[in-house]
């Protein structure tokens, strides 16, 4: 047997110490992935989504006017962001959505509080509530456009109508979640109505109120966009409409992704607010 010379790459092989360092780093990484699994899923799922998208185009051979490449959508996004075009429309839609949301917050929570406190009033109001709830919003949206014109107001009203009922119901259920023992306890302290409200009813209803706010914020965007679809010259809904009129699918996709991102930001801010206000409460109770 001929003794072979040491391979030239011998020095390039990692030392034992390095191997153990790499191993411990690897174990740490695995632990991190295991403990924070949900966060690692997000980028992973985005990559998977884009890959699937490209795969469909490759295998089916769709032309751009049917389904654009992700890159085309990205380029379109970069263009509308660079010339500031998108921000105008985002601001417009956000304004409509937030007006609708604030109006709903004001009316749905105050009406919800009254109906939550009085079963008699709730019984009296419930036929109207159910009737109003059964009206398809797409059916009356054109009417609202006819009545209130093309500006911000009709879209804010549509957003308001879409989120009013979920927020109302959440408020009612929230106020009802105060149990009789808790009321008796406050009664034994001779607490005033205001004290019962501020110390008991409001914090007890808070989880459901916040859930309503979270849903409301996200859906108010949807309401505003539905309104823009039906009339007007501004907003993200208008952009989608414009893209479809011009067969500019990248513009449609760019608008849709913007809508998704804005909605996620709204939902996320509400979730952060929720986390802060419900600090210390048991998670599964929320």
Q: Which residues bind other proteins (CB under 8 A)?
A: 179, 181-182, 184-191, 195, 199-200, 203-204, 206, 278, 280-282, 285
Nearer Cβ to other proteins, position 170 or 263?
Answer: 170
Nearer Cβ to other proteins, position 138 or 185?
Answer: 185
Q: What are phi and psi of 56, to 5 degrees?
A: -60, -45
Cβ 188 to other proteins shortest distance, Å: 5
Cβ 260 to other proteins shortest distance, Å: 33
Cβ 173 to other proteins shortest distance, Å: 17
Nearer Cβ to other proteins, position 134 or 190?
Answer: 190
Nearer Cβ to other proteins, position 28 or 281?
Answer: 281
CA atoms within 13 A on the CB side of 281: 15
Cβ 286 to other proteins shortest distance, Å: 10
Cβ 273 to other proteins shortest distance, Å: 15
Nearer Cβ to other proteins, position 54 or 281?
Answer: 281
């Amino acid at each position: 047997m001929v003794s072979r010379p040491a391979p030239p790459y011998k020095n390039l092989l990692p030392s034992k110490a390095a191997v153990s360092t790499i191993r411990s780093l690897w174990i740490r990484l695995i632990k991190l992935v295991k403990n924070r699994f949900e966060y690692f899923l997000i980028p992973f799922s985005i990559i998977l989504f884009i890959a699937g998208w490209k795969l469909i185009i490759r295998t089916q051979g769709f032309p751009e006017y049917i389904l654009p490449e992700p890159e085309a959508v990205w380029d379109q996004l970069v263009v509308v962001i660079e010339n500031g075009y998108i921000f105008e429309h985002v601001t417009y839609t956000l304004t409509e959505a937030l007006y609708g949301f604030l109006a709903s917050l004001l009316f749905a929570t105050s009406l919800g509080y009254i109906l939550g406190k009085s079963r008699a009033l709730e019984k009296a109001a419930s036929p109207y509530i159910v009737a109003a709830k059964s009206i398809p919003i797409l059916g009356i949206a054109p009417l609202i456009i006819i009545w209130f014109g093309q500006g911000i107001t009709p879209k804010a009203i549509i957003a308001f109508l879409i989120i009013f009922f979920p927020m109302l119901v959440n408020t009612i259920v929230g106020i009802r979640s105060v149990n009789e023992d808790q009321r008796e306890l406050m009664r034994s302290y001779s607490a005033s109505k205001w004290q019962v409200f501020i110390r008991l009813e409001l914090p007890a209803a808070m989880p459901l109120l916040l859930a309503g706010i979270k849903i409301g914020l996200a859906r108010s965007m949807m309401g505003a966009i539905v309104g823009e679809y039906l009339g007007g010259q501004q907003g993200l809904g208008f952009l989608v409409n414009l893209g479809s009129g011009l067969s500019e699918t990248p513009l449609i996709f760019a608008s849709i992704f913007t809508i998704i991102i804005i909605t996620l930001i709204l939902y996320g801010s509400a979730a952060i607010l929720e986390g802060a206000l419900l600090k210390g409460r048991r998670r599964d109770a929320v």
